[in-house]
Structure formats: structure tokens, C-alpha cells
Amino acid sequence: MVARLLCTSRLSPAAHSMTADGEVERVATDLTGLKVGILGGDRRELEVASVFHGLGAEVRAVCLPWPDDVGFVSNRLEDVLAWADLLLAPVGGVDKFGQVSYTIVEGQEPPRLTAETLRHVAQGTSLFIGQATSGLREACSEQGVRLVEFRETEEFAWRNAIPTAEGALEMALRLTDHTLHGARCLVLGFGRTGSVIARTLHGLGARVEVLARDGIDLARCYALGFAGESLADLRGAVSDADVVFNTIPVVVLREDVLQRMRRGTVIIDIASAPGGTDFAAARRLGLSAHLAPGLPGITAPRTAGRIVADTVLSLWQNL
């Protein structure tokens, strides 16, 4: 059974919520008796494990350096899969071979979620993951595992856009030799993350221009006070850009576009891998182009982890 939950879920009154500083506010949720298996990941998953443990759940982890006084860390994936009531895989999901992303423990084989390993999971167990492959969806369906993909849920995507945007701006500040105040910044795409980046840049005094395909997105830009142009005008727009933030997950920064950029332009591409930039062409042209996946787990793992925990608990309580 595969549950692809791609809409907003409401928290029950007995759940928890995020405070303004990113803290998870415990209200009355008691997870005593719940067995939670954390399947690899980065510092976000460490924070998720801490939240679940703090709410009374028993936590076991694979390929996470988790303190002995908090949870039992097992190096055997099969043990955790057979034991858990709720399984959590990383936000970044798995590759085509089922290997989970962002695993940070050196010297250990990263967990693999395949039809073979999922045979250890009891039918009806919930597996939460940022985004699954078609192969993982098929394997879960065959094994009777309830698969919940949360990366594109509205509640997660909007909250996660905040640490993503802040991480992108931190990169821009580090990679340039000038302030963002007064800089000409292009934002490609005006979805959740693009809109947060544009708003934050505007607050810093940058000269922000948004390029998007969708006429509705351009209308939103106008309503919010941003300069907006059609993506068809990209070749002309990049010629005097100081920083380009790309959020579009197809190659829009092609070689013919990159050739129009000044040498000092910095490109920060936060679209899903492989990104929306021809990085080989950027290298040949001497441009500073950077693919930046998983920024929340790098620049704000505590907040990002608590966003994951908040989302998973909300979705789990509403299954």
C-alpha cells in the first residue's frame, strides 16, 4: 500500500507545532511504546531522532552516530526494519539502487531500501521518506509497506523553503566580494523556495528580478512588488547579474545563456540534482557555479530536522 500524501495535513490539538525560532513545541503528544527506526541521513535525522525520543518513542538508528544513552544504534539494517512500527528515511530519498542519501557515518555501508531488504518489514508498517523512486514505490506496494512521501507536501515544502533560502544567501555572501545590498540578483523560478529567496533578498536591499515561465507566477511577482520577466528573456537578463539563484530543476542555464554572463557572476543552483545549470560549460567559461543540494541539513540542521519531525508526526497522526 503506497500513500503519496501531497496535500496539507492538519495537526490535531494533541500534537505539536513549530515556534518562531524553529523549536518544536510539545503540547500533549505521547509516543510511548512507538518504535521508530531512523535509516541513515545527516544531522537533520539526528534532530528527528531526538524529537521522537523526547516524546517517549523508542528510537533505533542505522548509520547515524547516535549517543548510547538515547537510543540503540544497530549496524544491521534488517534488525531495525523488522523491529520498527514507523520507519524514517532521509529527505533526499534514495538513488536508483535504493541507497539512501546524505549518510554521514564513515566506514559503514549506507542503508539500501530494496525489494529484498523490505521483506524484513512487517506489513502495514509506515515508511516516511522525502521522495521515493518508482522502484521503491513498487517494492513497498509488493511488501505491503505504507509509503509516505513528504518532501512535496505543502506543510513541509513551505517550511523547508526558509532554511533553504537562508543557506543559499549564506553561500552568496561567502562566494562574493560584495554585499547583497544593492546587488542585482536574479531568481529563476517563483515557487515556494524561489519566492522566499526573492522576499529575503528584497529585505536585504538587493535589486531583485524574478524570471518564471508561468504567467500566474509573474502576476504574483507584480503583486508582491518584484520585477518579473518571462524565462524566455533569460539570455538578456543575465548580462549584468551579480548573483543568479536557480530553483528550476531542468537545464535553463545553458551554454548560450552562460556566455552572456560577466566573469564575476556567481550562480547558486538549489534545484534537485543534477540542477538547472550546464556546469561543464560554466567551468569552461570560468564562471563560479555551484550546485547546492541539501542546504537545510548543512546550514540549519536543527531547524530543518524539527521541520521534518513536525511534518512526519502530522502526517502519521492523520494516516
CATH code for position 189:
3.40.50.720
AA letter at 215: G
Task: Give the Cα separation of 211 and 74 in Å (integer).
Answer: 48
Q: What pLDDT is attached to residue 9?
A: 33
Is 53 part of a structural domain of the chain? Answer: yes
> Given pLDDT bands bounded at 50, 70 and 90, which one contains residue 274?
confident
Beta carbons within 10 angstroms of residue 17's beta carbon? 12
Regarding whether 63 and 111 lie in a shared domain, the answer is: yes
Regarding whether 171 and 262 lie in a shared domain, the answer is: yes
Is 167 part of a structural domain of the chain? Answer: yes
Summarize pLDDT for 183-238 with one digit per residue, the tens.
Answer: 999 999 999 999 999 999 999 999 999 999 988 999 999 898 889 999 999 999 99
Regarding whether 133 and 210 lie in a shared domain, the answer is: no
Regarding whether 176 and 135 lie in a shared domain, the answer is: no
- Sheet containing 86-88: order of strands: 2-3, 146-149, 126-129, 86-88, 35-39, 58-62, 72-73
Is 304 part of a structural domain of the chain? Answer: no
Regarding whether 187 and 62 lie in a shared domain, the answer is: no
Burial class (CB in 10 A: 0-12, 13-18, 19+), 14: exposed
Q: Which residues span the domain enclosing 265?
A: 158-297
Regarding whether 243 and 168 lie in a shared domain, the answer is: yes
Task: Give the Cα separation of 6 and 119 in Å (integer).
Answer: 26
Regarding whether 203 and 86 lie in a shared domain, the answer is: no
Provide the mean pLDDT of the chain.
88
Total domains in the chain come to: 2
Beta bridge partners of 253: 277
Summarize pLDDT for 14-51 with one digit per residue, the tens.
Answer: 344 455 455 545 444 789 999 999 999 888 999 999 99
Regarding whether 293 and 167 lie in a shared domain, the answer is: yes
Regarding whether 229 and 202 lie in a shared domain, the answer is: yes
Q: Percentage of the chain with pLDDT > 70?
A: 89
